[in-house]
Chain A
């Protein structure tokens, strides 16, 4: 019976929650961790380094063309202007470089040799990012790969493929979608996805959702 299954799942989740809570209390009581250690770790993923930083950078670039130019010319210096969370500029972020999509150009980020990824601005890479097939095809036939992601790129548009490495970690400034006149930076940032900043998606227009 489906209602029995739901009840079973609810009880199972509640039992797991109680056990995790007991373990945390025990480890704090024993002095293994501090009372704020868990929050500090989670904060790293939820507040310090993640796709919310990249979205803010892109939103600023959309509303401020001079910032956008500085971002392309000297990415770390431009990012420093934004006062993003302290600690976001770790080793994975120190050599970031932005490339911008435009009317005649679409950028795609891959990483053929490793899994180099600008974590501080994009967060955790998706499952397929480390897939050797994606890496190889991204170089060999980027248009076909993009088509499969639902991003058909016309023959009149140049596709540039950027290979992230330990030296440079690329991210894309996608094009600002239509129907966003008058949007605040915060509203714009909410539209930006990590996939758009990898070049495997476009930022959807709010009315197209």
Chain B
């Protein structure tokens, strides 16, 4: 049993299809935004806006969606892109964000370099 939400959340994923990349006992993030996304997702769940298990199931589904794509249409594998898609779906389903807000988040915007 875990008394810390952070450890509960991470442990639920270990050894399963939604297991996060890790190396030498630490979470492994190839890019800074992946780290920010992981922290953001746990922070929102910790506040009770969605159930962690619901998010996990959505993530497994999101990974499955990618796997079912034809090779030609498949973007390169990126665990945290699937993670982000799952988070947005759960946030919308739980009405934490509206459809309009979601569209704003996903809108194309000028890119900063070196991110």
Contacts and interface: CB of A to CB of B under 8 A. Distances in A.
Interface of A: 9, 11-24, 26-27, 30, 32-33, 37-42, 44-46, 49-51, 87, 90-92, 115, 119, 122-127, 129-131, 166, 193-195
Contact of B43 (A33, A126, A127, A129): A33
B49 interface: yes
Contacts of A22: 104-105, 107, 109
A20 B33 contact: yes
Given A32-B96, A50-B26, A38 B14 contact: no
Contacts, number: 143
A88 B78 CA distance: 31
Nearest to B113: A14
A115 B15 contact: yes
B9 to A, nearest CB: 9
B81 interface: yes
Nearest to B35: A42
A42 to B, nearest CB: 4
Nearest to A16: B33
B26 A51 contact: yes
A126 to B, nearest CB: 7
B115 A45 contact: no
A51 B43 CA distance: 22
A17 B115 contact: yes
Interface string B45-61: 01101000000000000
A124 B22 contact: yes
Contacts of A27: 40, 44, 96-97
